[in-house]
Structure 1
Amino acid sequence: MQVLKFGGSSVANAENITRVIKIVRQALTKDKTVVVSSAISGCTDALIAIGKAALAQDSGYRAQIEDLQRRHISLIEELIPRQECEDIKAVCLELFKKLEEICKGVYLLKELSDLSLDHIVSFGELLSTKIISAKLKSMNISHKWKDSRELIKTELLGGKNSVIREVTFRNIKEYFDSNNCQLYILPGFIAMDMMGRTTTLGRGGSDYTASIIAVGAQARRLEIWTDVCGMMTADPRIVPSAKPIRNISYKEALELSHFGAKVVYPPTIQPVVKQGTPIYVKNTFAPEDPGTLIERNPPEGKNKIRGISSSNKIALLSMEGSGMVGIPGYSSKLFDTLSKNNINIILITQASSVHTMCIAIDEKDADLAKKASDELFAYEISLGKVDPLRVEKGFSIISLVGDDMKNQSGASGRMFDALGREGINIRAIAQGSSEKNVSAVVKTEFVNDAIRAIHNEFFSPDNNRRVNLFIAGYGTVAKALVEIIRKQGETIARRCGKEIVICGLGNSKKYVIDKNGIADSFGEKLSQGLENMENNYLNALYGLQMSNSVFVDCTASRSIASAYTDLFRHKYSVVACNKIACSLSQEFYDELFACAKKEGVAFKYETTVCAALPVLATIEQLVNAGDRITGFEAIVSGTLNYLLSNYNGTESFASLVVRAKELGYTEPDPRTDLSGSDVLRKFIIATRQAGIEIEREEIEFSGLVPEELLDPALSPEEFYSKLEAYEPEMKKIYGQAASEGKRLRFTARYAAPEKEGERPVYKVALTGVDAAHPFYAIEGSDNAFAIKSLFYPNGIVIKGAGAGAVQTAGGVLNDILTI
């Protein structure tokens, strides 16, 4: 025999019930079958609402009954041929008549006892199974409908209905032994006490019914059919990349379900454990999917961690006091009084000094727990030996579940490290005595973030760490970055152990966010995105709470740069090729790093100086190793170096600027490059990287051309006309350098004082270099950076392409991968 249980979503409408019957017919080809069904989706909640409305003397309960009746009649008419549906309509109408009579009694007496509510909600399963039975009859499929209340008997224990197992199992065995039918239909959820009154089996009751029937009838398997493909490594609504669990032990499934995994409820598993009946969790809408097999000894996989679950609406109760030290009995007295008040303890931690004790309970019981505890310890509280019970609400418990957790080396450490990297504070920790779980208590506002972080740690492909990117600016650099990630994502994951997922794009007009990742058509999706007015993109990011998030600034926006500290406070690391933030005041620069350090996030900006050339990384490594930078000289503008290395007096400098602009080497307005302001910013960044505090006013600075040529009020035509007029001066400067065997270069130079009392040299200007200088042979748009230090007095020279979208994007990606 096999038992198949179908949930509310599986029988929600005619189409779904047709699916169910197809599954049942397939099952009948293999073995005798028992079908247990829930009420149709939403019916139980509707019945509870009807009962409460009647209690509140809201006459609208009648209309609610009529609505529910119409829904069931409509289902019958759609499911069963017209000539055969009158009998089942009559059955349903009779059930609704009984329902209305019960509700009328509640309305008149103004009383809704637990027994009355149980009776009201029992109609859902009676209706659904009667309809399924009628459909089977219309298809000439032989079967028997059996009222579960005649088989499953309950008694009241601790305020809850408890199954009287000996009587129930005997009833089930006798019934199935005395009937020789291939198919049985039973309502789930409902039972009866020994006085003949209808009761229910509580949350997940239909699953529990199926489990009890499977044990009593000694079925060879139990199948739970729902709307998901089995149990998952985490809630897929929180972790879209959650994976199905193909095999799991009874005990692991109990742990996951106890801490919030709602696919299978704990009572479902408990009856079958002793008998060893395998439970298959299957998807009604994907019957070919293997689902999850819950059994005694599942095969071992390479990952012994099975899954992550969570429980919300948790309150922490803290009991502390000097009078507790070395005095036995405080814990047992507290636990005893909580038990007497039917308050379940979910988690316990206690300091080794016995000075403090912390327990977790359901939030709804918190006020009662405090009242009971403070009354119990009133005398000790009055003497100051014990403090009044402290209650804190708004917590969640996250549990990492797997067999033999105590022998899983490093599992707890990895879990806590994953939370620590996200800056998530753990309020309490416990390991289950079953050695199947490690649990941590965190604030509910961080629980989804925490689950994603832990899942990423244990279940990413090859343990790859997922990195969520949110890109600002969608120009040439951002487009190149997106393309590299799209093409090289798998290689990056394999080599670096990081799965780069682009979750957000934004420019000055639009933005788009997808927590699951934007896979393709980036530009199109951005153009169809939301309006980015008044920092809407940033504000949307602040509300996401996604772990391992990196904000990539590919803009030249001052407002974006000013938002870095806010991004840090919302746990975003920042990777910038925007030079503004690091070249503002020294105070702002220091604040950036202090804030990033405090929030436990990273700030990377290698590409702000020489694109992908490792200039800042080299300086940082030297300083970190105890070295001191004594000086450096740099060509950090590919545009200016292109102009100067190609200028020889035969072609006017103005026409060379026009050609450079046509080739895409300059900014849209070449005056930005010719001013040298970009070089000035880069010089400030590099100098500060060397550990030197500097403000812009301290730098001796002159642009490549006079300031009057750079007046923004000039039209492009006026600018080029004035630049042509400046040609004699350019020829003079070039000729003077050439006569000395030198070449013109626009450089940034720092030199430390050689003697006490001397001032350091900070200079950005046009200069000439001779053939012995390392910059003499730097041609085209290449950059070069020559560093001198105590360890390297003869210098280190770094040179290569210091501009270009692909090079800069590569540098940005390197920064991302170092986080």
Structure 2
Amino acid sequence: MQVLKFGGTSVKSSDAIKRVIDIVSNALNKDRTVVVCSAISKCTDTLIEVGKRASERDLSYKELINALQERHRQIIAEALRPEYQDNAYKTLDALFESLNSIANGVFLLGELSPASMNAIVSHGELMSTKIISAAFASAAIDNRWIDSREVVKTDDNGSVDVALTNDNIASTLGKYPHSSLFIVPGFIASDLKGRTTTLGRGGSDYTASIFAVALKAREVQIWTDVPGMMTTNPKVVPTAKTIRNISYRAALELSHFGAKVIYPPTIQPVVAEGIPIYVKDTFHPEEAGTLIEKNPPRQQYDMIGISNSDNIALIRLEGSGMVGVPGFSSRLFDTLSRNGINIILITQASSVHTMCIAISEKDAPKAKAAADDCFAYEISIGKLNPLKVETGFSIVCLLGDDVLEHSGATGRMLAALGAHGIPVRATAQGSSERNISVIIPSDKVNDAIKHIHYEFFDKSTIQQVNLFIAGYGTIGKELVKIIAANREAICKRTNKNIHICGLANSRKYIIDTEGFDPNSAAELLENGTSAEADSYFEAMANLSLENSIFVDCTASPDMGFKYMTLIQEGYSIVACNKIPFSGAFNRFDSLIKAAQVAGVNLRFETTVGAALPIIHTINRCINCGDAIHKVEAVLSGTLSYLFDKYDGGDFKALIAEAKAKGYTEPDPSIDLSGRDVLRKLLIISRLAGIPLEESDVRLTPVPSEEEVKRLYDEAKAENKKLKYVATIDADGRAEIGIKAIGPDNALYGLKGTDNAALITTDDYPSPMVIQGAGAGARQTAGGILNDILT
């Protein structure tokens, strides 16, 4: 025998019921089956509201009943073949006649007794199971409907009479040895006088457990609208994973701390008997789901899941009078117990000067009054402070089997929270060795769960990288284009799944924490939010996504300040914007140190030579202790082109030609001024350990056409070529200007817009040469992407 329980969402419509029939049909190929069903989704809530309105003599209760009846009739019309519908309608109408009669009685009396409420809400399960039984018959599957009120019996306290119930179930189903399928309403029972009772929260699960134990079932299947028990709430963490196997005790612990798939008291009977429980998704029955059993196999992850409980209050008892004096704890616990207050978590300082207890917020006023009364004398003489109560907290629990076996779990959990500025007010580890609990402000719960989940469940798998891009000009568009074309390939090679979650230009911005289609970026941005002042950055600062990277594709001079704010919020920075790194040295140094302190990346390779690894090489030398003696470089693609093509003719015409080809800035004088090269040299020098300012560099702009012609003629006479060169040596001597380069220098052979850097070090007395395209949207975007992925 096997017991399958279907929740309200699993029977909420004709389509859902057809899925149930398919699932049960497959199950019948394996064993005889008991199907326990809840009322259709939202039906019980509606019936409770019917009772309340009727007791308040609000005639609108009838509208609720009529709407409910129409909903059930529609399911019959869609789920049953025509020849089965008349009987189903008659059965349904009889149940609604009964419901109307009870509700009318409540209306006339203006009173809603527990017995009347039980009678009203019981109609939900009666209606759903009658329809489901008829639907099976309509599908040519014989079945027997069993009235659970006739077999599940409760005592005067509403508790199930286990022995009597087991006998009733065994004897009732024993009358039908040739029947393979039984349909049973969940949630409802009756007392010894035959009056309808209900089994409370999780009542349908409880019904399934009761039948499974009574029939010695080989397994229980709980069918719901989620793929099983999850490592955490998938609405909070989209990367939450289905737990394939879990022990009874871990499942109960996870459920106790907020997981809603199962309700611990209701499955206790099958746990006691060692009957395995499957949790599966009605709408994706092909998925494996979760198997809850006594001794599950070892899982992929060290821990099992994360859950939380909200509406927690902290009460704190403190004072010098507690030190070395026994009995304070027991007096407080006894006082709280006598006032019906449940203690959720306890921590106490080793000095015994302070005790902190977590309770439900609703109990906080009562707890304070009771404790202040209990310790009134000690408070009056100043040995204790009045009980302090703080509200607005939640408990977040990291759960696993045998937490103590996983060295460092507590440290990793606290480090994950601390790294993102989430304050922990108290922490405790259960004596069961199955959970680590922390108390944090409730407004930080979702962030905490995300960061803990990443630490324990996502780090070793595919990593989601969340990009927030500023600047959607030539380079920004090319970057988005490259990501769109290569995203899947990148994920396969690097295990990094790039999500573009934010994009902004000077007018508008868009943010979508789930990521948006890069191919739709232009259209989405055009319809985005107005980018007023710092609104894009303020919106980013309010997010809390792991692995978030701000990508600066602008030339804005104000970005350095924004970098600092974003770094403090946990964002890594990738930039092709030279200005934040070439201004005052103290600002450059502050950015580097801030990123180090925050533990985030600050990458700006493309500020110097597009995708050429100039910065990477300098960093590698410094990190390896290889002293840099000199850097000599051509760092302007525009000027490299001009002096490669110049043959002593019309220099202005050559500039116009370069502009027409898109090699210069819209205003070529910007290139000719040498300031762009100056910024690049400042960045190189600072990374090489030479803290130069602009005033330390001797900058000579490209001179007049006549002077260029004179220099060219002199160089040609010596078999040399003109290049616009930036030089820095270990003594801090830095200069930028036109130089005549001979054939023995690697810069001599530069062609077109190529850049090159010659780096002389202890290990490389003959300089390393890094050469290639130092500009271009494609090259720069590729360099940015490389920074993102490293």
Q: TM-score range by the shorter chain?
A: 0.7 to 0.9
Q: Secondary structure at the match of 1:286?
A: coil
Alpha-carbon distance, 1:656 to partner? 2.9
**1:250-275 deviations in whole A, cap 9, x for unaligned?**
22222222222222222343211222
The aligned residue for residue 647 of structure 2 is 648
Does the 8 Å CA contact 1:422/1:547 hold for their aligned counterparts? no
Specify whether residues 528 and 241 from structure 1 end up closer, same or farther in structure 2 by C-alpha distance, changes over 3 A only. Answer: farther
The aligned residue for residue 638 of structure 1 is 637
Task: Output the amino acid matched with 2:9.
Answer: S
Percentage of pairs with the same residue: 53
Alpha-carbon distance, 1:184 to partner? 1.9
Instruction: Give the Cα–Cα distance (whole angstroms) in 2 for the partners of residues 656 and 503 of structure 1.
Output: 43
Specify whether residues 442 and 766 from structure 1 end up closer, same or farther in structure 2 by C-alpha distance, changes over 3 A only. Answer: farther
Specify whether residues 664 and 68 from structure 1 end up closer, same or farther in structure 2 by C-alpha distance, changes over 3 A only. Answer: same
Alignment of 1:239-638 (within 5 A): 239-460=237-458, 462-478=460-476, 481-482=479-480, 498-508=496-506, 511-518=509-516, 521=519, 523=521, 526=524, 530-534=528-532, 537-558=536-557, 562-586=561-585, 588-589=587-588, 592-593=591-592, 596=595, 600-617=599-616, 633-638=632-637
Task: Output the amino acid matched with 2:89.
Answer: K
Q: Secondary structure at the match of 2:216?
A: coil
Alpha-carbon distance, 1:279 to partner? 1.2
The aligned residue for residue 149 of structure 1 is 149
Task: Output the amino acid matched with 2:784.
Answer: V
Does the 8 Å CA contact 1:225/1:284 hold for their aligned counterparts? yes
Specify whether residues 165 and 100 from structure 1 end up closer, same or farther in structure 2 by C-alpha distance, changes over 3 A only. Answer: same
The aligned residue for residue 171 of structure 1 is 168
Pick aligned residue for 2:200 from 195, 199, 202: 202
Instruction: Give the Cα–Cα distance (whole angstroms) in 2 for the partners of residues 464 and 541 of structure 1.
Output: 23
Does the 8 Å CA contact 1:446/1:545 hold for their aligned counterparts? no
Alpha-carbon distance, 1:277 to partner? 1.2
Alpha-carbon distance, 1:407 to partner? 1.1
Task: Output the amino acid matched with 2:706.
Answer: P
Specify whether residues 459 and 185 from structure 1 end up closer, same or farther in structure 2 by C-alpha distance, changes over 3 A only. Answer: same
Q: Given the alignment of the two structures, is residue 126 of structure 1 paired with residue 100 of structure 2, yes or no?
A: no
* Unaligned stretches of 5+ residues in structure 2: none
Instruction: Give the Cα–Cα distance (whole angstroms) in 1 for the partners of residues 769 and 445 of structure 2.
Output: 46
Task: Output the amino acid matched with 1:781.
Answer: T
Instruction: Give the Cα–Cα distance (whole angstroms) in 2 for the partners of residues 441 and 674 of structure 1.
Output: 61
Task: Output the amino acid matched with 2:709.
Answer: K
Q: Secondary structure at the match of 1:564?
A: helix
Instruction: Give the Cα–Cα distance (whole angstroms) in 1 for the partners of residues 139 and 744 of structure 2.
Output: 97
Instruction: Give the Cα–Cα distance (whole angstroms) in 1 for the partners of residues 316 and 21 of structure 2.
Output: 53
Does the 8 Å CA contact 1:477/1:808 hold for their aligned counterparts? yes
Instruction: Give the Cα–Cα distance (whole angstroms) in 2 for the partners of residues 401 and 96 of structure 1.
Output: 46
The aligned residue for residue 221 of structure 1 is 219
Pick aligned residue for 2:770 from 772, 777, 799: 799
Pick aligned residue for 1:192 from 190, 193, 196: 190
Instruction: Give the Cα–Cα distance (whole angstroms) in 2 for the partners of residues 657 and 342 of structure 1.
Output: 87
Instruction: Give the Cα–Cα distance (whole angstroms) in 1 for the partners of residues 605 and 152 of structure 2.
Output: 70
Instruction: Give the Cα–Cα distance (whole angstroms) in 1 for the partners of residues 715 and 344 of structure 2.
Output: 82
The aligned residue for residue 783 of structure 1 is 755
Q: Secondary structure at the match of 1:563?
A: helix
Does the 8 Å CA contact 1:687/1:694 hold for their aligned counterparts? yes
The aligned residue for residue 734 of structure 1 is 712
Greater mean deviation of Cα atoms: 738-747 or 308-317: 738-747
Does the 8 Å CA contact 2:757/2:771 hold for their aligned counterparts? no
Task: Output the amino acid matched with 1:31.
Answer: D
Specify whether residues 316 and 574 from structure 1 end up closer, same or farther in structure 2 by C-alpha distance, changes over 3 A only. Answer: farther
Q: Secondary structure at the match of 2:310?
A: strand
Instruction: Give the Cα–Cα distance (whole angstroms) in 1 for the partners of residues 459 and 630 of structure 2.
Output: 46
Instruction: Give the Cα–Cα distance (whole angstroms) in 2 for the partners of residues 626 and 168 of structure 1.
Output: 80
Does the 8 Å CA contact 2:51/2:112 hold for their aligned counterparts? yes
Instruction: Give the Cα–Cα distance (whole angstroms) in 2 for the partners of residues 337 and 145 of structure 1.
Output: 50
Task: Output the amino acid matched with 2:343.
Answer: I
Alpha-carbon distance, 1:8 to partner? 0.8
**1:424-473 deviations in whole A, cap 9, x for unaligned?**
33333333333233333333333333333333333338445433222233
Instruction: Give the Cα–Cα distance (whole angstroms) in 2 for the partners of residues 323 and 494 of structure 1.
Output: 63
**1:1-34 deviations in whole A, cap 9, x for unaligned?**
1111111111111222222223223333332221
Specify whether residues 752 and 220 from structure 1 end up closer, same or farther in structure 2 by C-alpha distance, changes over 3 A only. Answer: closer
* Unaligned stretches of 5+ residues in structure 1: 706-725, 754-759
Specify whether residues 385 and 580 from structure 1 end up closer, same or farther in structure 2 by C-alpha distance, changes over 3 A only. Answer: same
The aligned residue for residue 712 of structure 1 is none
**1:374-405 deviations in whole A, cap 9, x for unaligned?**
33333333333333333333333333333222
The aligned residue for residue 723 of structure 2 is 745
**1:642-690 deviations in whole A, cap 9, x for unaligned?**
222332314x323333443454433344333223232233234344445
Alpha-carbon distance, 1:214 to partner? 0.9
User: CA RMSD, aligned part only?
Assistant: 3.7
The TM-score with structure 2 as length reference comes to: 0.88
Q: Secondary structure at the match of 1:406?
A: helix
Instruction: Give the Cα–Cα distance (whole angstroms) in 2 for the partners of residues 584 and 55 of structure 1.
Output: 75
Alpha-carbon distance, 1:222 to partner? 0.9
The aligned residue for residue 710 of structure 1 is none
Instruction: Give the Cα–Cα distance (whole angstroms) in 1 for the partners of residues 642 and 516 of structure 2.
Output: 40
Q: Secondary structure at the match of 2:350?
A: coil
Instruction: Give the Cα–Cα distance (whole angstroms) in 2 for the partners of residues 156 and 554 of structure 1.
Output: 73
Instruction: Give the Cα–Cα distance (whole angstroms) in 2 for the partners of residues 150 and 374 of structure 1.
Output: 51
**1:213-257 deviations in whole A, cap 9, x for unaligned?**
111221111111112222223322222233322222222222222
Instruction: Give the Cα–Cα distance (whole angstroms) in 1 for the partners of residues 783 and 330 of structure 2.
Output: 61
**1:606-652 deviations in whole A, cap 9, x for unaligned?**
322233444445555666788987875543222222222332314x3
Greater mean deviation of Cα atoms: 444-453 or 243-252: 444-453
Does the 8 Å CA contact 1:698/1:762 hold for their aligned counterparts? yes
Alignment of 1:634-783 (within 5 A): 634-650=633-649, 652-689=650-687, 696=694, 700-705=698-703, 727-739=705-717, 743-750=721-728, 763-769=735-741, 775-783=747-755
Does the 8 Å CA contact 1:613/1:798 hold for their aligned counterparts? no
Instruction: Give the Cα–Cα distance (whole angstroms) in 2 for the partners of residues 362 and 762 of structure 1.
Output: 68
Specify whether residues 334 and 813 from structure 1 end up closer, same or farther in structure 2 by C-alpha distance, changes over 3 A only. Answer: farther
Alpha-carbon distance, 1:38 to partner? 0.9
The aligned residue for residue 816 of structure 1 is 788
**1:132-191 deviations in whole A, cap 9, x for unaligned?**
23334455643332232333344587xxx5444344334333333344333222211223
Instruction: Give the Cα–Cα distance (whole angstroms) in 2 for the partners of residues 162 and 653 of structure 1.
Output: 99
Does the 8 Å CA contact 2:232/2:306 hold for their aligned counterparts? yes
Instruction: Give the Cα–Cα distance (whole angstroms) in 2 for the partners of residues 251 and 736 of structure 1.
Output: 88
Task: Output the amino acid matched with 1:808.
Answer: T
Instruction: Give the Cα–Cα distance (whole angstroms) in 1 for the partners of residues 741 and 365 of structure 2.
Output: 80
Specify whether residues 285 and 496 from structure 1 end up closer, same or farther in structure 2 by C-alpha distance, changes over 3 A only. Answer: closer
Greater mean deviation of Cα atoms: 793-802 or 92-101: 793-802
Instruction: Give the Cα–Cα distance (whole angstroms) in 2 for the partners of residues 164 and 347 of structure 1.
Output: 33
